[in-house]
A = this chain, B = another copy of it.
């Protein structure tokens, strides 16, 4: 078994996790969450999304959240999702240095999620990257539904490989592959990773798993043995896709860290501090912590 010696976790709780919460969350709480995650040792945090305020009311305070953070911290890269050039302009205005753009291998999912087809999403992404690239911004591309779409069913690995290539061609520095509805098993993940790895180094590929069917850690473990060393996760398992069934959403950062440390892989993260942070934010949101490690301790 060959494993990476070090894994970088990309914490998506503050954005992907909070965006579907019904309860309004104070901007100060969001900022406190991100600062606690930084203190626990997370080195990459997706803080918010500069989306139209009426689309995702929960993230309407993107500007206030970002300006409440220290974007110059050398130990932590803060990023923000931008759906279009208006979002990019707002992010630039706040001094954001890393952005993320979003698409899916499913036309139907893209239509329901961001209101456009795959091709149209690439046109939007191109407009964003064309402006962001010369300014030196780091750009992460998300591909969702890599294993299956809740509307269109299973997706061939070649579709993800093709879209990954298109995102890199448009200027992305990294692509995060998302099993958005959590249906993959390790063989599915292997087929996708192998298809993508034919043309790209795994140094710039992240895996984004949801634990809806309980398979996330098995998938992540297997991806590590294939050479993936950038993993997305969400503190306390915050979030979940509103278009996917099941109570659970993003794999919990706590459970991923337990796996990684157990495997002898460095993360730079203090698990106890992370558990405390996850308990605190879950209490603030009136949710149950969706991290086995926390419930066991």
Contacts and interface: CB of A to CB of B under 8 A. Distances in A.
A111 B125 CA distance: 64
A176 interface: no
A295 B247 contact: yes
Nearest to A222: B221
A212 interface: yes
A75 interface: no
Contacts of A295: 246-248
A255 B215 CA distance: 8
A38 interface: no
A190 interface: yes
A293 interface: yes
A297 B184 CA distance: 15
Contacts of A259: 185, 214-215, 218
B188 A262 contact: yes
A14 interface: no
A291 interface: yes
Nearest to A255: B214
Contact of A296 (B217, B221, B245): B245
Interface of A: 1, 182, 184-188, 190, 211-215, 217-218, 220-222, 245-248, 252, 255, 258-259, 262-264, 291-293, 295-297
23 contacts: A1-B186, A1-B187, A1-B222, A182-B296, A184-B262, A187-B262, A187-B263, A188-B262, A213-B293, A214-B217, A214-B252, A214-B258, A214-B259, A215-B258, A215-B292, A221-B221, A221-B222, A246-B295, A246-B296, A247-B295, A248-B292, A248-B295, A248-B296
